Amino acid sequence: MQSNIGSKDSAGSFLKRDREVVTPLGDGGHNTYVKVSAPGTVANLVCGFDILGLCLNEPHDIMEVQLLDEKKIIIHSADGYPLPLDPAQNTAGAPLIEMINELGGNIGFEVTIHKKIKPGSGIGSSAASAAGAVVAANYLLGNVFSKTDLVRFAMFGEKVASGVKHADNIAPCIYGGITLIRSIHPLDIVVIPVPELYVTVVHPQIEVRTKDARQILRKEVLLKDAIKQWGNIAGLVAGFMKNDLDLVGRSLEDVIIEPVRSILIPGFDEVKRRCKEAGALGGGISGSGPSLFMLSKKEATAIQVENVMKEIYERIGLAYHSYVTTINMEGVKVLTD
């Protein structure tokens, strides 16, 4: 099949075509296997539904990817999670199908997913699989694709998972840090400078499917609510860029999505109120939930916030996982050659 992006030169290396840089295969084409860590992410950052996201240092999936010399995708779930193994229905497989179709030629990938970020947790499980797969595949192909291309492919995984393409988990997972997705048609991703912050995440052990959490949303918003939301999004981005953490805290307010989705999460109002009383800058639902996140200036505060979360879920009698972590500046990381 004729490739419209990469082509092989006489030495067998994939070369970029119609692009600013020509990049030969990583080490001349000898890598056929790679292991990557694919981190969790917090999408929306409260007020920025579908347009803001932050990359976490914990938790993260591990993915192993083997380059094949036939047009085929094989998916394995290493931990017994019931992930769909049909590549077209798998959040790692669907992006790789798009990548292979765009490249052409007889290439394929065998992917083994060690899932540590539970599906339906709200901390970017589907995005981690999609982003991990495309970064690993790109590495094996000699980094022929740009990060924007990788986000474009990985969004096919989000479409499989939630029925809709969105990049607010994918982009921070691939770029690291905090990203703004100004537009997905065409893709316009802005990396936002990140102040030093601690992130506390609690994952009550119930599953909220993103598809369901999107379907319950109202399709129209009042102008007065939209104005408040615009103010908060602008305030949040300005706060990050100016390292004005009090402005960040004031801007972590959502008058459109949270009032609808928070009813799906036991203990939501109490967690939010008491974590702020414990010193958190603010926070709310992570992605489509049920995980909740809080940002803090200091590690000691983030630990105190975690204690509040633990106390609430122990009292409610709902199992949970919690993390105190920091912002991951690297995104998906290659672990071995």
Nearer to ligand HSE, 67 or 130 (CB): 130
Alpha-carbon distance values, 248 to 195, 232, 241, 282, 302 (Å):
10, 9, 10, 8, 16
- Assess whether 210 carries a catalytic annotation: yes
Strands 73-77 and 108-114: parallel
Tracing tokens 């694709």 back to the chain, one arrives at 145
Segment contacting ligand HSE by CB under 6 A, of 61-69, 87-95, 144-152, 208-216: 208-216
**Minimum distance between the CB of residue 195 and ligand HSE, rounded to whole angstroms?**
23
Q: To the nearest whole angstrom, how small is the minimum distance from the Cβ of residue 166 to ligand HSE?
A: 5
Select the span of 149-157, 164-172, 198-206, 219-227 touching ligand HSE (CB under 6 A): 164-172
> For residues 43 and 52, is the Cβ–Cβ distance under 8 A?
yes
Nearest to 327 by CA among 268, 248, 257, 256: 248
Phi, psi of 71 (to 5 degrees): -80, 90
- Out of 166, 203, 272, 297, name the contact with ligand HSE by CB under 6 A: 166
- Alpha-carbon Rg for the chain in angstroms: 20
x/- mask, ligand HSE, residues 38-77, rule CB under 6 A, reads -----xx----xx---------------------------
Between 26 and 59, whose beta carbon lies closer to ligand HSE? 59
Query: Is residue 214 close enough to count as binding ligand HSE by CB under 6 A?
Result: yes
Dist. CA 21–CA 135, nearest whole Å: 18
Helix (H) or strand (E) holding 320: strand 320-326
255 to 294, contacts with ligand HSE by CB under 6 A? 287-288
Instruction: Report the residue closest to ligand HSE, judged by CB.
Output: 287
Distance of CA 267 to the CA centre of its chain: 25
* Residues forming the active site: 158, 210
Chain positions contacting ligand HSE, by CB under 6 A: 43-44, 49-50, 166, 168-169, 210, 213-214, 287-288
